[in-house]
Structure 1
Amino acid sequence: MSFSAIVVAAGSGLRAGPGAPKTWRLLARRPVARWSVEALAAAGAREILVIVAPEMRLEAETALQGLSAVKFASGGATRAASVQAGLAALSAAPEGEIVLVHDAARPFLSASHISRLLAALDHADGAVLALPLADTLKRDDSGHLATPDREGLWRAQTPQAFNLGALRRAYAAWDFETEPTDDAQVVAGFGGRVALIPGDPLLFKLTYPEDFAMAEHLAGAARQVRTGQGFDAHRWGPGDSVWLCGVRIDHDQSLIGHSDADAGLHALTDALLGALGAGDIGEHFPPTDPQWRGASSDRFLAHAGALISERGGAILNVDVTLICERPKIRPYRDAMRARLAEILGLSADQVSVKATTTEGMGFTGRQEGLAAQAIATIELPR
């Protein structure tokens, strides 16, 4: 089912304490807003409009880089104004399309939440994830403590899903004498039918500093760590240079291969694909395909990194070992680490490159070829 999304991330988040606005702070090494945006992208959102404060635009673009469905629009003075800015910025969206409106400060969005919202719109103009109140309510009436009846009261969450045309018409009709607190209020106020569907306590909103401590704990439980390994070897042949881990080294021989024969990059690509459970390099870039003849292997590694990002994952660290008698690797090791970090968007301390010999034994010891092995650790959503 086709849908677009508006992610509201323009607030200052002052109640979350000092520092950057809460949606751009890190949660388990990723910006808070990226958690939700990746979930929406993975669920198949046609377009994701992220509403940001103008002064945070560059930071937002950096935080969400690599996500192709994302576009940006500037937010307004209120949440309702920001949602309206998103509705106006949706490109070529048919009136019958579904739009999800989500607060970026609710990071633990899942595919199940999204699918249940979409299904609910078969018989309603809007759908809201909501939780029944479990706690007793108290109200301080000028020093007199009252206990309101909680029967029939619900805690509304986001995303909230709507028929796009219905949401646009409802906002156009709202008089704004009262500022709406969510979009369901606007649609219901215009006479639209809004369905309540079971929410999820995990979909809580980061509001106060203590919420971040709880979210960090939950983020560990919401992620799975995977490890993959890769191995590659190439023969030596005529030439005057060799490519290893993305760095060109002058040498009296070259490695023979269909592409540039960069064994380090090939082994690492296979390690990442293995951790992802996505086959091997030959499946993605068949050696029988002439378009990859002589190709630069950094394209293969970047492809593997992009697949992990598309799954909402992150690379934790990579480690490559080059096995050869010559050339000497140590003078080029720092350059190799820097190049791998650049291709994968990692910091230098997440990348290791080592070298060893086999003390004259085997095909590498006889200098018939060079081998590389790699290991990579990634994390993915459960």
Structure 2
Amino acid sequence: MDKNKTGFASAVIVAGGSGTRMGRPKQMLPLGGEPVLFHTVRAFLAAPQIGQVVVVTPPENQAALAAEFEGLTFALPGSTRLESVINGVQKTAPQAQVVAVHDGARPLVKPELIGRCVQEALIHGAALLAVPVKDTIKVCAGHTVQNTPERGTLWAAQTPQCYRRAVLVEALEKFGSQKDATDESQLVEKLGVAVHVVPSDYTNFKITTPEDLIFAEALMQENFIYRTGFGFDLHRLEPGIKMFMGGAEIPHTKGFQGHSDGDLVLHAICDAILGALCEGEIGILFPPTDPTIKGISSVEIARKVLEIVRRRQAEIVHIDATIITQEPKIKPHYDTVRNSLARVFGMDVKNVSFKSKSHEHVGEIGRGEAAMCQAVATLKIRS
């Protein structure tokens, strides 16, 4: 269990499928600007009852997750879903009171529903999320209806399915060889443990077909708002120092003087991003009075800002920066700076705008003694 979290439960997220119906593994398909599995993991990290998250997924997915999230535990998938669950449960902390098993392809699960299911499992021994069936169900032989069950008694099971750890371990040890089981609750039921149903909502569906991904994207869009932030920076030009602009070194006899490397383009853009998030400005994160960061690369400043973007579950969708300077001539460097900005912020270059204006020889900027940059950034933020 993560010693930094107070949660008493471990989560096992099963994400080992090959994605035969989707053409590639569905858990890594893009949804809302990032892989499906990232949304699933983030929901469990946000549930205070969860103290450990075990992700059962192939090594290539593990590397992507480890780069995005800290503190995850990993397990390799088996040849069946049940084998994958067993592998994941073996990695859960022995002191966990409850284990929550969840499909990696259910990215819209709400942290509050996770918590409710965990709490009910602690009380009853076993619990699962489910919704009442809306359609009339027919039991068929081939294409012939045999009977029609009473719809009022039917519920569609979802995940997470949560169990006291000892209950789940016993069920897996006794019945784990039954590969035809489609969920763990079937095994727990064989122990004679009653599984408690926790009413869920219909948005917690499993992405199985291409249409499901379209529905999930539409639902996610309802949970986002768009904000635009403004940034500004001004630096003196000094001879004999390197000039950095948008993370790229520009050949010139002068450079931008500052406590960092003076990259006023990155500074203005970072302030615009922080403005859209209402998270202050870079002078708070990197005070100019701090001698330990003297000469720091502005790319490092941008990385810190990107950490805040990820923590806020936001996405930078557009950047537009204008540098106002008399020298050097910037137009020859447009593509260099745009491509550099796209790399720094992990964006498609088509969503990055960079341009310049002269100051018509007016004032300090017009005399080549200083330069300024103005920037706007538009972010999509989870509401």
TM over 0.5, yes or no?
Answer: yes
Q: Which runs of 5+ in 1 are unaligned?
A: none
Q: Report the AA paired with residue 214 of structure 1.
A: F
Give the drift of 1:313: 2.5
Q: Does residue 33 in structure 1 map to residue 34 in structure 2?
A: no
- Residue 259 of structure 1: aligned partner: 260
Query: Is the contact between residue 95 and residue 163 of structure 1 (CA under 8 Å) also seen in structure 2?
Result: no
Q: Report the AA paired with residue 71 of structure 2.
A: A
Q: Does residue 140 in structure 1 map to residue 140 in structure 2?
A: yes
Q: Does residue 335 in structure 1 map to residue 340 in structure 2?
A: no
Query: Is the contact between residue 80 and residue 179 of structure 2 (CA under 8 Å) also seen in structure 1?
Result: no
Query: Is the contact between residue 320 and residue 352 of structure 1 (CA under 8 Å) also seen in structure 2?
Result: yes
Q: Does residue 106 in structure 1 map to residue 110 in structure 2?
A: no
Determine the C-alpha separation between the residues in 1 that align with 2:163 and 2:284. Answer: 41
SS across alignment from 1:123: helix
Runs of 4+ residues deviating >6 angstroms: none
- Residue 374 of structure 1: aligned partner: 375
Instruction: Map 1:1-382 to 2 at 5 A.
Output: 1-2=6-7, 3-14=9-20, 16-17=21-22, 19-43=23-47, 46-52=51-57, 54=58, 57-58=59-60, 61-62=63-64, 65-90=67-92, 93-141=93-141, 143-174=144-175, 176-177=177-178, 179-192=180-193, 194-382=195-383
Give the drift of 1:61: 3.4
Query: Is the contact between residue 240 and residue 250 of structure 1 (CA under 8 Å) also seen in structure 2?
Result: no
Alpha-carbon spacing, 1:354–1:70, altered in 2? closer, same or farther (3 Å): farther
In angstroms, what is the RMSD of aligned CA positions?
2.5
User: How many residues in Structure 1 have an aligned counterpart in Structure 2?
Assistant: 375
SS across alignment from 2:151: coil
- Residue 3 of structure 2: aligned partner: none
TM-score, normalised with respect to structure 2: 0.88
Determine the C-alpha separation between the residues in 2 that align with 1:265 and 1:379. Answer: 20
Determine the C-alpha separation between the residues in 1 that align with 2:76 and 2:151. Answer: 38
Determine the C-alpha separation between the residues in 1 that align with 2:155 and 2:68. Answer: 37
Query: Is the contact between residue 13 and residue 101 of structure 2 (CA under 8 Å) also seen in structure 1?
Result: yes
Give the drift of 1:318: 1.8
Determine the C-alpha separation between the residues in 2 that align with 1:86 and 1:238. Answer: 60
Determine the C-alpha separation between the residues in 2 that align with 1:298 and 1:145. Answer: 66
Q: Which runs of 5+ in 2 are unaligned?
A: 1-5
Determine the C-alpha separation between the residues in 2 that align with 1:294 and 1:233. Answer: 17
Give the drift of 1:295: 1.1
Query: Is the contact between residue 14 and residue 103 of structure 2 (CA under 8 Å) also seen in structure 1?
Result: yes
Query: Is the contact between residue 82 and residue 179 of structure 2 (CA under 8 Å) also seen in structure 1?
Result: no
Alpha-carbon spacing, 1:120–1:359, altered in 2? closer, same or farther (3 Å): farther
Give the drift of 1:191: 4.2
Determine the C-alpha separation between the residues in 1 that align with 2:364 and 2:119. Answer: 60
CA-to-partner distance for each residue in 1:196-242, whole Å, 9 max, x for gaps?
21201011112233323322322322322222221111123343322
Give the drift of 1:76: 1.1
Alpha-carbon spacing, 1:83–1:144, altered in 2? closer, same or farther (3 Å): closer
Give the drift of 1:259: 1.6
Alpha-carbon spacing, 1:288–1:184, altered in 2? closer, same or farther (3 Å): farther
SS across alignment from 1:286: coil
SS across alignment from 1:68: coil
Give the drift of 1:157: 0.9
SS across alignment from 2:368: coil
Give the drift of 1:273: 1.4
Alpha-carbon spacing, 1:96–1:144, altered in 2? closer, same or farther (3 Å): closer
Determine the C-alpha separation between the residues in 1 that align with 2:364 and 2:165. Answer: 64
Give the drift of 1:294: 1.4
Determine the C-alpha separation between the residues in 2 that align with 1:301 and 1:177. Answer: 51
Alpha-carbon spacing, 1:115–1:73, altered in 2? closer, same or farther (3 Å): same
Determine the C-alpha separation between the residues in 1 that align with 2:96 and 2:74. Answer: 22
Q: Report the AA paired with residue 102 of structure 1.
A: H
SS across alignment from 2:160: strand
Determine the C-alpha separation between the residues in 1 that align with 2:111 and 2:296. Answer: 37
Query: Is the contact between residue 105 and residue 205 of structure 1 (CA under 8 Å) also seen in structure 2?
Result: yes
CA-to-partner distance for each residue in 1:322-368, whole Å, 9 max, x for gaps?
11111222333322222222222222223222111222234422333
Determine the C-alpha separation between the residues in 2 that align with 1:268 and 1:49. Answer: 37
Give the drift of 1:133: 2.2
Give the drift of 1:181: 1.8
CA-to-partner distance for each residue in 1:147-170, whole Å, 9 max, x for gaps?
112343321111223333432233
Query: Is the contact between residue 38 and residue 310 of structure 1 (CA under 8 Å) also seen in structure 2?
Result: no
Query: Is the contact between residue 42 and residue 311 of structure 1 (CA under 8 Å) also seen in structure 2?
Result: no
Give the drift of 1:135: 2.4
